[in-house]
Amino acid sequence: MSFNFEIKSAQEDSLARVGTITTPHGQIQTPAFIPVGTKATVKSVLPEAMADLGAQALLANAYHLYLQPGADILDEAGGLSEFMNWPGPTFTDSGGFQVLSLGVGFKKVLAMDAKTFRADDVIAGNKERLAHVDDEGVTFKSHLDGSMHRFTPEISMQVQHQIGADIMFAFDECTTLHNTRPYQELAMERTLAWAARCLDEHKLLTEQRSTKPYQALFGVIQGAQYEDLRKKAAGDLGSLESSDQSFDGFGIGGALDKEKLGTIISWVNQVLPQEKPKHLLGIGAPEDLFVGVENGIDTFDCVLASRIARTSAVYTMEGRFNLSNSRFKRDFTAIDDECDCYTCTHYTRAYMHHVFRGKEMIAATLATIHNERFIVRLVDQMRQALLDGNFADMKADFLGRYAHRSGQASD
Ligand SMILES: [Zn+2]
């Protein structure tokens, strides 16, 4: 078994720590941001460029790969890493979020701002529900061709073992902030029962596939915005043993009210076993990454950096703005003059403006490289600040500039 997490330095005044995750495909220095390649590709960017910009690992999605090309194809290829020509560590999320999103018609990532949140962003209204949950699993309709499928904890484990990522997540029932408290309780009980079934199936598959590299399994903590439910989930899953196995680490998922993000993470991380790695699922806005790190998160993933890049939106120390805005037509400076990425060291805002306006394919590539570098580097800088003992200063400095200028430089 070659999965290990070592804490190298822990803060005295917060839950933050610096560590190293070791997987069969290499190490991840934490805290770290893990870019998302949903369908075994970070859209428009070569794996070599992802490595050059400092990505230490990539996260793909089990639901998408199960539907296309099929998990058996990845198994035959020798696993996700081999298939996509990414030699480093990989993660897969369980597909639970995507499958259940079909049921409620999610359009957004899970960091929810309850105030600006419209009911129609979450609830599919009169539209046909594409997923149905029962105690055994979830039946859903493919978003690609309308064919019917079923995920259970066992099937999710089989799919994720075939895909072959170094770190997998247990199949959980993902709820929204709009579900009632009684429903959250029900979903949490179901997630706990499914967690034990995931551990059982994981043990079986690990034995059956003993020639393959060890794959680590993380449990997922649900419980929405309720302190007692979050702490109960952390206690139950943190101490869960089934088939002589416990989880190798934990993902914090589910409905997360942006304003309470730090509070919710600290409830959970005070209860979970300290020595195991913690991943925050689907969160990647700069201000949220600070909150995560200081509350003990080791790894993050989020599609936001690449998704917004394709619409010409970029992160900079001057805040977030859109390169297609006409004020950049004759701006021959870099996107961000403090950024060391390939795009910023070779291209100007004027060129980026031109390729976005012309709908050139290189626009997505160059903007994605910049945004992913910006976020990866920001978390790298947090890790260094923790080692240097000046995290609080670094945070105040970054947020002071970023938030201040974001207010001025709107899209
Ligand atoms: Zn850049």
pLDDT single digits (tens) 343-379: 999 999 999 999 999 999 999 999 999 999 999 999 9
Contacts 24+ apart (CB under 8 A), 223-229: 223/184, 223/188, 223/254, 223/268, 224/175, 224/177, 224/179, 224/184, 224/254, 224/255, 225/177, 225/255, 225/256, 225/257, 225/260, 225/264, 226/181, 226/184, 227/267, 229/184, 229/185, 229/188
With beta carbons less than 8 A apart as the criterion, state whether 88 and 26 touch. yes
- Whole-number Å distance, alpha carbon 315 to ligand 1 midpoint, is 9
Average pLDDT of span 324-334: 98
- Whole-number Å distance, alpha carbon 93 to ligand 1 midpoint, is 28
Q: Per the structure block, which two tokens stand in for 288?
A: 């949220």
- Whole-number Å distance, alpha carbon 155 to ligand 1 midpoint, is 41
Average pLDDT of span 158-180: 92
Query: Which of the four pLDDT bands, split at 50, 70 and 90, describes residue 110?
Result: very low
Q: Name the residue type at position 208.
A: Q
- Whole-number Å distance, alpha carbon 310 to ligand 1 midpoint, is 15
Catalytic residue positions, numbered: 93, 301
Q: Average pLDDT of the chain?
A: 90
Reported as a single tens digit per residue, the pLDDT across 204-220 is 999 999 999 999 999 99
Tell me: pLDDT of 157 over 90: yes
Distance of CA 115 to the CA centre of its chain: 23
- Whole-number Å distance, alpha carbon 91 to ligand 1 midpoint, is 25
pLDDT of residue 143: 83
Query: Which of the four pLDDT bands, split at 50, 70 and 90, describes residue 177?
Result: confident
Largest CA distance in the chain: 64
What percentage of the chain carries pLDDT values higher than 70? 91
Residue 35 β-bridge partners: 302
Reported as a single tens digit per residue, the pLDDT across 37-54 is 999 999 999 999 999 999
Reported as a single tens digit per residue, the pLDDT across 6-29 is 999 999 999 999 999 999 999 999
Q: Name the residue type at position 410.
A: S
**What is each CA distance from 268 to 30, 254, 383, in whole angstroms?**
19, 13, 21
**What is each CA distance from 328 to 322, 331, 349, 357, in whole angstroms?**
9, 5, 6, 11
- Whole-number Å distance, alpha carbon 370 to ligand 1 midpoint, is 4
- Whole-number Å distance, alpha carbon 347 to ligand 1 midpoint, is 9
Cα–Cα dist 97/88, whole Å: 25
Tell me: pLDDT of 404 over 50: yes
- Whole-number Å distance, alpha carbon 53 to ligand 1 midpoint, is 9
The full length of the chain comes to 411
Tell me: pLDDT of 116 over 50: no
What beta strand segments (E) does 264-389 contain? 278-280, 299-302, 313-316, 319-322
Give the ranges where 17-105 is alpha helix by DSSP (H). 47-52, 62-67, 71-77, 80-83, 96-104
390 secondary structure, DSSP code: -
Tell me: pLDDT of 267 over 60: yes
